[in-house]
Structure 1
Amino acid sequence: MNWKYDPRPVDGKPASNTASAELYYHMFYDPVIYQEAADKLTESLLTIKKKLLENEALTEQEEELKEKFFRNDKEKGLIIVNRRVDDYLKYKGFRVLVTDSEKDPVKAWTAYADRWRVEDAFATLKDRLGCNRIRCSDNKALQGKTFVQFIATGLSLMVRSRIRCYMKENKKAGKLNLVYESDAKILQVLNNVMQTRFNHGYYFDEVAGKKIKYFEALDVRVPGAGPETPEEVPEEPETEPLLGTDIEI
């Protein structure tokens, strides 16, 4: 769209709108966001109904929800109006991304997601590791915290890089579309692949469906369902590190 705007707005004066710019509006639908909103609303409405049946007082916010989504029925009493719920949730899964530089929707979303990951990484450093106010007992603990975050960030970058390569190579192959899947969501799905160890080895639970596609996208071998014996790794002789020697990882 062609957006007209005032390049030099002044308080108290009407906008001139003499300048213009070409903007791109990208619309995306995320079923996860929709479902989260639906679950939250359903839980709130059921809580209200339970409180009313038990003659408990409602909060101010619950009173507003009651007026908006309930009605009195002569036979059934107070009921939830499904049409109002549907209207409220109608656009909950949609997101609009505005840009003046990228026409391709996938590239625009990828750039937005990458910038958001940078912000999330800083939030992790500040909130989870407490790096906005260092609360470590000594320098060794601080170094440990920072190193753990460094490893986690590196793994996250590897996951995203492999997903991009997979999508680029299989764009026309009709395979799993992972463009809008977050690293955290993919790893969360794979996090419940259980391993059982015993005296002579170990085995994994069966991996099927979407999980197989995730392993394929990450270029990681799918764990087998049968017993496997770990390969014996020869022990390396212990060596003392040389001071002043650079180590490349």
Structure 2
Amino acid sequence: MALVYLKNKKNGITYVYESENYWDKAKQQSRSRRVCIGKLDPHTGELLPSKRLAEPEPARKPGPVPATETKRLYAGATYLLDAIGDKLGITADLKQCFPECDKQLLSIAFYLILEDHNPLMRFSKWALTHCHPYGKEIPSQRSSDFFASITEEARERFFRLQSRRRAEQEYWAYDTTTLSSYSESLKQVKYGKNKEHDLLPQLNLALLFGEQSNLPFYYRKLPGNITDVQTMKKLLADLDFFTYKKIKLVMDRGFYSEANVNAMYQHHLKFLIGVRVTLKYVQQELEAAKPQLHKWETFHPDHNLHAYSTTITWQYEQSRPYKKDVVKEERRAYLHLYFNKEKEADEANKLNRLLTKLKQELESGKRDPAHEKMYAKYFEVKATPKRGVSIKPKQEAIDAAASNNGYFALLSNEIKDPIQALSTYRNKDVIEKAFGNLKDRLNFRRMEVSSERSLDGKLFVEFVALIYLSYIKKVMQEKQLFQRYTLQGLLDELDVIECYERPGCEVQFGEITKRQMELYEALEVPPPTSL
């Protein structure tokens, strides 16, 4: 049964219908039945259920719900996650998007967070000893069915709700990573350029991350043979679909192309992107700016580098197929140039080692097919019957490559100050840490699923768990808790707190130490007294 959205042209209200297709034997054609289940809130996009379908909640006395059986469970860490979920709106958004299975989803996410590297087959054992939202075990054979039940529509609603809780003024870091797989049945698992040099086929994952909030709010999976630069067109289409406003993107130079920059101008986005210094227009500006980049007055001790900015004119082009023409305009952009002496030395050593390796391969006759372009670029190789192989370096090419050592560049259509641009760009390392959490902490480096729908569902649960982990790590860094705890150590410190359930009585927590109280307060969560 699918959902259909229809907008009333008179009052502007979008109504939501449940649509079911059936075969009409009398008319010998396919028909559909539609039942209105509510309407969309014009401001938040949330579904407002129809009053005739809303079931009245049974009246109950305010306060904690009495237990129905005797239990002693670990609850300190799950209490923390419950409080974070309420604070970030995760619990409310999941309940709205997954009304029938939100508690199961949260319980699996809590397990992935608290049980580092443990497979889901151990969830049942963990559930017997811990207080968690679902309150019951989920057998491993049922977890695959549960993942497959998570629909694309519900996921997109969750993305939309979470995005509205992020700061509109912050930049959104966008990047991709690779997830390897042994499965031969997943359609998007392909061989491609693996960022971790894994020889297995892979799936690519794209993630959007708020730089100030340090929280992810959108992801999508891609075929493993898709390059970074090819993903931009689909990202912009998704941003239009979710009706995000005041979008600001920060990306590394793997996403740079003239077409992508033109597309961001066309969609009226603010951006900050890394660019290669070998590009023609960058080289022209760099040659003119090099004297400034070696002066003391452009040195910034906090970042240990020289920085210089210049305003450039971007030659904007937009193809219009419906009019069969190309719009050409000039747009303002800011090119930020940097020089770092230590980076210059490191890159010089790297170039020297590369040239030595290439020469050894040529001399030994063991040429690497992947290095053929570099052989031709840096060496002149001649073979004669008498003298054998003669290898002569192309010094002009080597000098040209060395002339760029220590320099790098950023391009923006909003940020004018080079240090502000650098700080914003470097803050995007939160997305690299997020990828590390997803692969290592949440045990998703190798995908252990065999069906597309199970993969989609499991990836979404991992994403929800990633939001919690990102928040905890952010607060730990702000409160300097990493000086005393690892992430796992902090969770373990709270996980030993027990709660007691007795029939007819309120659930009570056990003793809480001073150190545990301080941790709750540092994480901005009120310490538990009773549930």
The one of the two structures with greater contact order (alpha-carbon pairs below 8 A, sep at least 6) is: 2
Of the two, which has the highest radius of gyration? 2
The structure with the largest strand share of the pair is 2
After TM superposition, the score normalised by the length of structure 1 is 0.46
